[in-house]
Amino acid sequence: MVLFMAGLGCCVLGVVAATVISLERRVIVVTLVGSVGCLLTFTAASQVLVSGRAESFHSSLVLPLAGINLTLDPLGALFVAMTSFVGVATLVYCVGYARGELRSRSALSLLLVFLMSLLVVPAASSVVTLMFFWELMALSSMLLIMVEQRRRVETRVAAQWYGAMTQLGAASILLGLLLLSTKGGQTFGDIRSHVAALSPTLRSFAFVLTLIGFASKAGAVPFHVWLPKAHPEAPSPVSALMSSAMVAMGVYGIVRVGNDLLGGGTLWWWIIVVALGVVSALFGALHAVTSVDLKRLLAYSTIDILGLVLIGVGCSGALAASGHPRTAHLALIGALLLVVSHAAFKGCLFLGVGAIERATGSRSLDHLGGLIRRIPISTALFVVGALSIVAVPAFSGFTSEWLLLQGLLHGFVGKSSPTLIMLLVGVVALALTGGLTAVAFVKVIGIGFLGQARSTAAASAHEVPRTMQIGMGILCIPCVVLGVAPGIVIPLLNRAIQTGHSSSVSRPVETGIGLSLVHLRGAIEPMLLLAGFVVIVAVIAGANSIRRRPARKVEAWRGGGDRPTARMQYTATSYAEPLQRVFADVLRPEIDVEVTHAVESHYYEQSLSYESRVGDAIERLAYQPAIRAVTRVGLAARRIQNGSVHRYLAFGFIALLIILVVLA
Amino acid sequence: MSTSFYIGALELATGAVLVCAVMTLWRRQVRTIVTMLRLQGVALACVAGVLAWHEHDLGLAITALLVLAVKGVLVPWLLRRVIRRDPRSRETAPLINVPASLVSAAFLIVVSYVVTSKLTALAPSAATRLVPIGVATVLVGYFMLVTRRRAVSQIVGLLLVDNGIALVTFLLTAGVPLIVELGSTLDVLLVVVVLQVLVVNTGARHGSFDLDEMRELHD
Amino acid sequence: MTDIGSSLGYGFIASLMQVVLVAIGGPLLMGLMAKVRARAEGRVGAPIYQPLRDLRKLMAKEGLRARYSSVVLAAAPLVVLGSTTLAVAISPLVTTHPLLSASSDLFVIVYLLLTGSITMALAGLDTGTAFGGMGSSRAITIGALAEPALLVAVIALSIQARTSNLPTIVADTITHPVWTSTPTRLLALVALVIVVIAETGRLPVDNPNTHLELTMIHEAMTLEYAGSDLGLITLGAAMRLGLLFTLLVNLFVPWGVATGSSVLGLLAAVVFLVLKTSLLAVVVSLIEVHSAKLRLFRVPELLAGGFVLAVLAVITELVTR
């Protein structure tokens, strides 16, 4: 715990440093102090995960009235370790990235405040502490989105959406947690001991309220609308932190409240979670395929992956509720492994988009192309993240999705039909999103990095500073390690899930290098598979290069026409057009085609412009009417406020009278 | 007949009924759709036959033969006559396109599994476990009735619903009394004959089997 | 210790045999299908071993690569062939104890094949020509739509066998012959046949003999290769076809696959496998003769049908257990 507190102290020190140090050394000092802090918290969390012993800290000095309660138990430690890891990578990246507004005192100190609150949330062990740092996290990230607000007006809109959604979510969580703490103290220990005395209705009510808030943070459809707006507008390191660490806090919250504080709960709670997950996964995957803006694409893919995680968490809860603890643990381990590997690859991808933006000034795929020749190192690092998310074997995405799938598959044993239906819907959603994710990221790599440059900026891109590459590289390490040797983190995950099910937990997965299920038939050894692949490729390459000159470079085959130009290539829009057409009923794209005919004849076309936009149907159908209704109410309320001071004073007077009458 | 063979044959025949229903949503050629209906009739007769064999029930065996004669031969033959005028006719633009229909069918199948699970739990046996498949056939048939434009496909949808109901009765009660079955089967036959006359005549007069275009008749 | 050593040696021999068998058999399968088609159309057709001769010719030619291509185009043939070969080596084709049989998971095989498809699609975009992009976009669209049907069918098989380990499924099917006639298996079989047709680019999804830009899918991507690169890509596609056909056969008619550890059993298994797979290839090519290529936007209907059948397979498994 000392280490953890020291780490947090470093973050505070960083905030101070950000405000006092002069511009030239500010970035390097702040990131250095922050990284040291993250390393300390990482070490503290790892100790807890390895030993399995929770550590606590209580002080009534920091927060007035309630004091601050921190407990680093294995579940929280997993998220702390993950956040610290991403934090280090992001801060290192910032050294090279920070320019302009991001170097200002306010932005840098906010970044560290954000990081610190992210580290404290999973360690908070009382309602007040959790809510205080949850709000701090929300507020600091909202302000960070607006860092570039002088240059780009869109950031303000995004921040508005984000602020409104996150405050509604926080209010919901607060209400839910308050319901839980009605029988006694507000620390998690008190809640755990009193929760059995609460009525089932109250417990269910509390779960649903917290679920709304946490699911909104996790970007679950239909509470996701802030995510595709906020993530793209924030500076890339902030996007990376938000998408890999902050979104995961939603999952943490659901697991903490549902599994730990409420100790499992009933089946229908988890049916809601699975339903949210299924809708999010499909919605996110479909929108990711059709997005052209890189960050927007990544934001939708976050919704997709977090949807899969929710499916895992929900199925795990349902399996536990219907009496299958072993498969429940298996599914939960799979879901948590997916959260961790999502943090790594999505962080890496967001940082990669930052690098692309730095190198070319654009993040629209239709302005990129040929970057593999201009910025090879950033490309390679980005590709590692992309292969991971596409679930290519021997990358972390594959191992975690495999484990999740095994959890669901082996859950098909009981007779409890609602659980079986949920598992069925879950695996079908998993199957549907797999191919779509592959298309989205083939599009990103193929259109963005391969082929010829589609703009002059992309043609003259320059490799980004070394520190940015190192930041991305740090996040590539878990992508590969968790893919090749996933077994090494299994003991830690085993400990992390003990928190919820304190009694009689069996290990569902063997400890080892690969993954091997206990008492169930299923195993993979990614390291051996990788070795086999390398040997086979080496043999083929060796046999192929005997007595052979290297291939000659010639012009691309052009089918008898002129030399192919960059404009003849497929664009991101055209690449995904077939799928967009197949799913047109769901996506409802708006397509504008304008044809200008030649003067001489109507049959000749002079120019043609094609534009297609895929809007967010849920935003259009659910949120816009709600916003319009609120606006109408607001306008109606304006009639009361006509600016007359007398009337305002009269309101006060009448209110006073009413209060007095009521009290009397 | 050994039990495992009985169960296997029953599962196969019941599965075939549902597969035929799904196939009618999948294929566009009206001729193929009618063929699917015929195969479904045969499969339904097989279900009744297998049950009759297992229960040694003569009435059920006669019902099986009746189902085979009416649903496997007579009704498809009548429908064939309807489409003979326009043998290449296709279900070109259903209200819900084919992939979406198929995905909806998958959803309906899941729904039927959910709603019947309580029912089957009451008396679990080899036959009653398969009831969800019968209910799914009914739902798929109803879906076809709602979303298809061609008059013939709509008749087929109606017949799918009927076949599904028949399947559910076979599975749940091992057949209703012969006389009831006879009545309902002949009823269906009558409906088909009436519809056939109606469709052929309107088709001859207005040159179209598209029900959406018939809305104009009402003015 | 010697036991492990001998089983490792056996696995190695078996896997090597599988790789050689599929590397030679895959092209022969293509030749056989072309021959059957030619005969059905009243032509004599090229000899069955023509694809092997084509491969030998291609491997001897000089390599050419487009000027603006990157390392992706150069590495693609190796990755495609490598991932397919790895899948062939660990699958239970002639024996249920190939090398790495513990990791021979259905999902590993599916994702190894997906890796090959992704690599092909990326390489299609690498040269920056319109043809490559077109083929890549179409192929990945069909791949993405086939993926759900494939995975759900695979899940249906795994639920029935209570494992997704492929050799275990095949071995259990041999001991439970009833499984092969359950509705679950049959529905999954139909779904998998549709997927295999889509994944191997056969009619009615893609025409392997076309060079018309309106209809090309796989061929449009291979336009960018020449010489030995083209040879490796073609061999990779042939092995993919061989692997998928043999897997299909082994999952639904598993008899003949060696379960013991005798070399004689292996040889017998090879003979059985060749017979079974040739039969399947003849049937598929006869179906091909009688079907016209679907419009690109009708392919989703076909694959959605496969998907529904796969979902049906899972449901019937849940209902009938």
Q: How far is B182 from chain C (nearest CA, A)?
A: 30
User: For residue range C53-99, what is the model confidence (pLDDT) as tens digits?
Assistant: 999 999 888 888 888 788 899 899 999 999 999 999 999 998 888 88
| Cβ burial A647-657 (10 Å sphere, 16+ → b, else e) | eeeeeeeeeee
Cβ distance C152 to A536 less than 8 Å, yes or no, reads no
Cβ distance C223 to A557 less than 8 Å, yes or no, reads yes
Q: How far is B111 from chain A (nearest CA, A)?
A: 9
Measure the CA–CA gap between A95 and A464, rounded to whole angstroms. Answer: 11
Other C-beta atoms closer than 10 Å to the C-beta of C124 total: 33
Better-scored residue on pLDDT, C247 or A547? C247
**Has residue C283 got a pLDDT over 50?**
yes
Mean pLDDT of C149-153: 91
Other C-beta atoms closer than 10 Å to the C-beta of A664 total: 5
A613: helix, strand or coil: strand
Interface test with B, best of C190, C312, C321 (most B CBs within 10 A): C312
What letter would DSSP give residue C258? Answer: B
Cβ distance A393 to C115 less than 8 Å, yes or no, reads yes
Cβ distance B110 to A424 less than 8 Å, yes or no, reads yes
Of A640-654, B75-89, C187-201, which has the strongest mean pLDDT? C187-201
Cβ distance C300 to B99 less than 8 Å, yes or no, reads yes
As a whole number, the mean pLDDT across chain C is 88
What letter would DSSP give residue A95? Answer: H
As a whole number, the mean pLDDT across chain B is 78
Residue of C nearest to A419 (CA): C318
**Has residue C159 got a pLDDT over 80?**
yes
Sign of CA dihedral A274, A275, A276, A277: positive
Of B26, B109, B133, the CB nearest to C305: B26
Chain C positions in Cβ-Cβ contact with residue A430 (cut-off 8 Å): 151
pLDDT of amino acid A554: 83
Lowest mean pLDDT among A280-294, B88-102, C57-71: B88-102
Q: How far apart are the first and last CA of chain C?
A: 41
Mean pLDDT of B94-113: 82
Measure the CA–CA gap between A215 and B63, rounded to whole angstroms. Answer: 55
pLDDT of amino acid C1: 39
**Which band of pLDDT confidence, cut at 50, 70 and 90, is reported for residue A172?**
very high
pLDDT of amino acid A523: 85
**Has residue B164 got a pLDDT over 80?**
yes
User: For residue range A108-139, what is the model confidence (pLDDT) as tens digits?
Assistant: 999 999 999 999 999 999 998 999 999 999 99
Chain A positions in Cβ-Cβ contact with residue C232 (cut-off 8 Å): 540, 544
Largest CA distance in chain A: 104
User: For residue range A341-400, what is the model confidence (pLDDT) as tens digits?
Assistant: 999 999 999 999 999 999 998 889 889 988 998 999 999 999 999 999 999 998 999 999
What's the token pair of residue C34?
């072309």
Measure the CA–CA gap between C128 and C242, rounded to whole angstroms. Answer: 31
Q: Give the A:B interface size as CB pairs under 8 Å.
A: 13
User: For residue range A486-533, what is the model confidence (pLDDT) as tens digits?
Assistant: 988 988 888 888 765 544 566 777 777 788 887 788 888 899 999 999
**Has residue B88 got a pLDDT over 70?**
no
**Has residue A88 got a pLDDT over 90?**
yes
Q: Please give the helix or strand (H or E) that residue C96 lies within, else none.
A: none
What's the token pair of residue A552?
């000659």
Residue A263: phi and psi, rounded to 5, are: 65, 45
Lowest mean pLDDT among A524-528, C4-8, C207-211: C4-8
User: For residue range A190-225, what is the model confidence (pLDDT) as tens digits?
Assistant: 888 888 888 889 999 999 999 999 999 999 988 988
Chain A positions in Cβ-Cβ contact with residue B117 (cut-off 8 Å): 417
**Has residue A38 got a pLDDT over 80?**
yes
Neighbours of chain C (3+ CB pairs under 8 A): A, B
Residue of C nearest to B13 (CA): C183
A-contacting residues of B 109-128, CB under 8 Å? 110, 113-114, 117
Residue of C nearest to B126 (CA): C320
Q: How far is B75 from chain C (nearest CA, A)?
A: 26
Q: How far is C82 from chain B (nearest CA, A)?
A: 35
Quote the ipTM score.
0.93
Cβ distance B110 to A418 less than 8 Å, yes or no, reads no
pLDDT of amino acid A505: 60
Domain range annotation of chain A:
1-197+209-260, 267-481, 622-663
Q: How far is A249 from chain C (nearest CA, A)?
A: 30
Residue A368: phi and psi, rounded to 5, are: -105, -165
Better-scored residue on pLDDT, B78 or A30? A30
Cβ distance B110 to C319 less than 8 Å, yes or no, reads no
Cβ distance A549 to C318 less than 8 Å, yes or no, reads no
Q: How far is A38 from chain B (nearest CA, A)?
A: 47
Mean pLDDT of A147-165: 86
Measure the CA–CA gap between C20 and A616, rounded to whole angstroms. Answer: 51
pLDDT of amino acid C291: 81
Q: How far is C62 from chain B (nearest CA, A)?
A: 46
Measure the CA–CA gap between C1 and B134, rounded to whole angstroms. Answer: 56
pLDDT of amino acid C2: 46
Mean pLDDT of C42-56: 92
Measure the CA–CA gap between A497 and A542, rounded to whole angstroms. Answer: 47
As a whole number, the mean pLDDT across chain A is 88
User: For residue range A53-75, what is the model confidence (pLDDT) as tens digits?
Assistant: 888 888 877 666 678 889 998 99
From residue B134, how far is each of A571, B127, B145, B168, C88 by CA, in Å?
A: 48, 11, 17, 5, 41
pTM for the structure as a whole: 0.90
What's the token pair of residue B105?
């069918």
Mean pLDDT of A315-340: 90
Whether the CB of B142 is below 8 Å from some CB of chain C: the reply is no
**Has residue B186 got a pLDDT over 70?**
no
Mean pLDDT of C300-312: 89
Q: In this structure, are residues C57 and C64 in contact, taking their beta carbons and an 8 Å threshold?
A: no
Better-scored residue on pLDDT, A18 or B152? A18
Measure the CA–CA gap between A453 and C70, rounded to whole angstroms. Answer: 13
pLDDT of amino acid A136: 93
Cβ distance A421 to B114 less than 8 Å, yes or no, reads yes
Name residue, tokens 């099986």.
B64
Measure the CA–CA gap between A68 and A235, rounded to whole angstroms. Answer: 31
Of B11, B98, B109, the CB nearest to C183: B11
